[in-house]
Structure 1
Amino acid sequence: MKTLFKSYINTFRGLSEEIWWLALITLVNRAGTMVIPFLSLYLKEDMHFTVSHVGWVMSAFGLGSVAGSWIGGKLTDKIGYYKVMVRSLLTTGVLFIGLQFLNTFASICMGIFIVMLVADAFRPAMFVALNAYSKPENKIRSLTLIRLAINLGFSVGPAIGGIIITGLGYAGLFWVDGITCIMATLLLIKVLHPKKAKVLDVIENKNPVSAYNDHAFIIFLVAMMLFGVVFLQYFSTITIYYKDVHMLTELQIGLILGLNGFLIFIFEMPLIKWLENSRYTKLGLMFFGAILTGLSLLILNFTNWSGILVIGMLLMTIGEMIAFPFSNAFAVQRAKKGNQGEYMALYSISFSIAHIFGHNAGLQMTAALGFDTTWYIISIIALICAIILFVLNRRLNSKKLV
């Protein structure tokens, strides 16, 4: 056991102090985003919206995310990642607190759009900061550490969120979201001010390549958008499925969602370190991740036994642990060819587009076709994603795409 623990600790060695601070800031921020997994339930149960209306609100969520990621990338290349991160976090905190006071369909759609526009400007800036604060040989592990912070936050957040809803109702979540964003801002100003932080990887391109002309990267983004559509069912459709089909309480839902983050916190870093030394390429590993994530929803149709929900979550967690770190690493690697903010903005936008269509499509399909048919369709989308990654990997290996 001691040897196993020592081996686990060694997977974290060599990462810069700035990366650890960035991970802590991300943890504080993401622990407070407990509204997001419960947003569809909040709109349905507390605001009494129809499933169709919930779907359109989630589309506004995605549209705001697209706009925010694009603006964040532009601002990052223009004024720098530090200013973008500070302003995004602080403003998001204030907006989250105000979101609870909106009570009409139109105002909530607009409010969600504005919140996500500001919040997701943070993402491309954070990726560029991560690239700057990490040595080239530590990129994937640095990305994995940030993901650990995100998932630990998501693990703690839903579990606490379920308790808060039980005791204080949904309004308490908005206050916690806002306050934690403001706390993350104060920590960011304290520890990552440009005068204190040490940049380890400076990338200068006199003639940067436009991300829009990088054909392999664009194909990769299409696959990531499809993967996002599948993955995001766990943040909207699946919670209603848990509630309506398996009759779980908000606390039980929070615990199942929290299991995902807990498993990632324990196992992802050792898994990534092991896979880094395997013979598989980044795209090849993403292929397996897409297959497992699609399978996690497909098996829900095989039985009415509620234990299948845990098995599905385990499969999705393994797929996520494989797909996301290596997709991040692939995007960062391609970004060295051009404007980093532009590349990382497009990477973020691929998931933002998934937010536009994924939540809404899943919710509309469940309303019109039922959950079983929806899971079959989503599984087919996962298969298409896997095929695209497989073909792209073959073509890059044969140098047919550069």
Structure 2
Amino acid sequence: MKRILLRYIDSFSGLSKEVWWLALITLINRAGAMVIPFLSLYLTDNLDFSLQQVGWVMTSYGLGSFFGAWLGGKLSDKIGYYKVILGSLFLTGVSFIMIQFFTSFWSICISFFILIAIADTARPAFFVALSAYSKPENKTRSLTFIRLAINLGFSAGPALGGLIIASIGYYGLFWVDGITCIIAGIVMIQTLNPKKTKELDKEVIIDNPIPAYRDSTYVIFLISLALFGFIFVQYFSTIPLYYKEIHQLTEEKIGLLLALNGALIFLFEMPLIAYLEKTSISKTGNVINGLILTGISFLLLLATPWAGILVIGMIMATLGEMIAFPFGNAFALDRAKNGRQGAYMGLYSMSFSAAHIFGHNSGMQFIANFGYDNSWLMMALIAVLGIFLLYLVKHRLINEKRSINNQQSPA
């Protein structure tokens, strides 16, 4: 037991103090993001919105995220990641406090679009900051550490949010969300001010940077990640319905199954990534393995009506997530050195925004038209398509490397 604990602690070694501060800022910010898990309840209970109206609000949310990721990438290249993150935190804080005063359908749609657009401008900027503050050899573990902070924040947020609703009401969520964003901004000023910190991984200035959308290998990679995101978001939209309607699980048991995802990430992701970094498996190879595991998790649901398969399926999907996301992040950051990092990471963030825009609604439509079993088979086939695209990326990377070597070889 002591050896396991030491290995777990050792997986955090070597990370820069700037990465630790960035993780703390992320934790404060994500723990405060408690409006989102209760958004549908707030809209239906407090504002008496219909389910169709809630669906349009969620669409506005997704579109805002997509636009914000694009804008954040552009701004990161123009004014720098520090100003983008800081501006996003403070403006998001003010927006959360203001949004509680909008109650009509269209004002809610517009205000949530603006709120999430402002909030998600920080997403590509965070990636660029992480690249700057990480030593090249620690980049994947640094990304994993930030994911750990995000998961801890998302775990604490809903629990705290439930207490706030019970004691103060829904409006208390908006105040707490707003204030925590502002606090995160203040912490950033005190700890990551460019005058006080140093960049560990200096960006090499490219004379003729490749526009992200013209890097066809990168675009194919992002399409495969969007497909992975498409099937993975089912675990937080359609899969819980499957648990309840087909396996007759109570909300409490469903909550425990979903909590298993966060618990596994907290306990095992850092040591797992530290181990995989020492192997000969490439970043794209690890993403392929992650996608294979997630695809298998859907096929397991077809294998047997035994309820225990749900736990095994969740473990498989979580393993896939733990492997694919950090190495996918790391590949994107490495590839971004060919051009403007902000634009590259903005496009990366947009791929997951697209998965959220289309994944939840399409999953519901699949179930309504084809049933659960056919929908899970469809998800497995989408995983196969994503795996094929990743093998295509690997082939193109080999050709790129071969071409570079030929150009560098003496005539």
**How has the CA–CA distance of structure 1 residues 302 and 97 changed in structure 2, closer, same or farther, with 3 Å as cutoff?**
farther
1:337 equivalenced with 2:338 (yes/no)? yes
In structure 2, the CA distance between the partners of 1:171 and 1:189, relative to structure 1 (3 Å rule), is same
Aligned to 1:182: 182
- Please report how far the alpha carbon of residue 190 of structure 1 lies from its aligned counterpart in structure 2 after TM superposition: 1.4
Query: Across the two proteins, how many residue pairs are aligned to each other?
Result: 401
Matched, 1:350 2:351: yes
The corresponding residue for 1:278 is 279
Q: C-alpha deviations, 1:191-221, integer Å up to 9, x for none? A: 1111111111121223222212211101001
C-alpha distance after superposition, 1:336-360 (max 9, x if no partner): 1111111111111111111221122
- 1:93 aligned residue: 93
8 A Cα contact 2:217 2:396, kept in partner = no
Moved more, 119-128 or 105-114: 105-114
Moved more, 307-316 or 82-91: 307-316
Q: Distance in 2 between matches of 1:233 and 1:146?
A: 23
Contact 1:155/1:262, CA 8 A, preserved across alignment:
no
Tell whether the 8 Å contact from 1:159 to 1:255 is kept in structure 2 after alignment. no
Match of 2:396 in 1: 395
Given that 1:159 and 1:254 are in contact with CA atoms closer than 8 Å, whether structure 2 keeps it comes out as no
* Correspondence 1:1-400 to 2 at 5 A: 1-40=1-40, 42-43=42-43, 49=49, 51-162=51-162, 164=164, 170-203=170-203, 204-242=205-243, 246=248, 248-249=250-251, 253-302=254-303, 307-399=308-400
- Per the normalisation by structure 1, the TM-score is 0.90
Which of structures 1 and 2 has the bigger CA Rg? Answer: 2
Q: In structure 2, give the amino acid aligned to 1:322.
A: I
Task: Say whether the 8 Å CA contact 1:51–1:363 is kept in structure 2.
Answer: no
Deviates more, 1:46-55 or 1:257-266: 46-55
CA distance in 1 between partners of 2:395 and 2:229 (Å): 22
Cα pair 1:158 1:255 within 8 Å, conserved: no
Name the CA distance, whole Å, in 1 between partners of 2:282 and 2:83.
35
Distance 1:99 1:262, change over 3 A: farther
CA separation of 1:308 and 1:134: change in aligned 2, threshold 3 A:
same
Deviations 1:214-237 (A, max 9, x none): 111010011111111112223433
Q: Which secondary structure state, in structure 1, belongs to the residue aligned with residue 188 of structure 2?
A: helix
The 8 Å contact of residues 290 and 319 in structure 2, kept in 1 or not, is answered as: yes
What RMSD over aligned residues (CA atoms) do the two structures have, in Å?
2.7
**Structure 1: segments with no counterpart, 5+ residues:** none
Distance 1:371 1:310, change over 3 A: same
1:233–1:362 CA contact under 8 A, matched in 2:
yes
Deviations 1:23-58 (A, max 9, x none): 111111112223334444555666565555444332
- Kindly provide the CA deviation profile for residues 115-134 of structure 1, in whole angstroms up to 9, marking residues without a partner as x: 21001100111111111111
- Output the CA distance in 1 between the equivalents of 2:374 and 2:107: 32
Q: What is the distance in 1 between the residues matched to 2:313 and 2:120?
A: 28
* Shift of residue 240, structure 1, vs aligned partner: 4.8
Contact 2:224 2:386 in 1 (8 A): yes
Is 1:32–1:177's contact at 8 Å kept on the other side of the alignment?
yes
Contact 1:154 1:258 in 2 (8 A): no
How far 1:180 moved relative to its partner? 2.2
- Pick closer, same or farther for the CA change 1:375–1:382 going to 2, 3 Å: same
Aligned equivalents of 1:370 and 1:170: distance in 2?
A: 35
Whole-angstrom CA distance in 2 between matches of 1:119 and 1:365: 31
Are 1:15 and 1:142, in contact at CA under 8 Å, matched by a contact in 2?
yes
CA distance in 2 between counterparts of 1:120 and 1:377 reads: 30
Deviation at 1:377, TM superposition (A): 2.5
Q: Return closer, same or farther for 1:163/1:371 CA change in 2, 3 Å cut-off.
A: farther
3-state DSSP of counterpart to 2:194:
coil
Q: Which deviates the most, 387-396 or 303-312?
A: 303-312
- Pick closer, same or farther for the CA change 1:113–1:309 going to 2, 3 Å: farther
Q: 1:334 to 1:170 in 2, by over 3 A?
A: same
User: Separation in 1 of the partners of 2:155 and 2:181?
Assistant: 17
* Letter paired with 2:182: I
- Which blocks of at least 5 consecutive residues in structure 2 are unaligned? 405-411
Q: CA, structure 1 residues 107+324, in 2 after alignment: closer, same or farther (shift >3 Å)?
A: same
Once residues 222 and 362 of structure 1 are traced to their aligned partners in structure 2, the CA distance between those partners, rounded to angstroms, is 18
Distance in 1 of aligned mates of 2:373 and 2:50: 20
Q: Shift of the alpha carbon at 1:159?
A: 3.9
On the 8 A contact 1:290/1:385 being kept in 2, the answer is: yes
Q: Is the 8 A contact 1:102 1:108 kept in 2?
A: yes
2:14 counterpart letter in structure 1:
G
Once the two structures are aligned, what percentage of the paired residues are identical?
58
Closer, same or farther: CA 372–38 of 1 in aligned 2, 3 Å: farther
Q: Distance in 2 between matches of 1:104 and 1:381?
A: 38
Q: What TM-score do the two structures reach when normalised by structure 2? A: 0.88
Q: CA deviation at 1:261?
A: 2.1
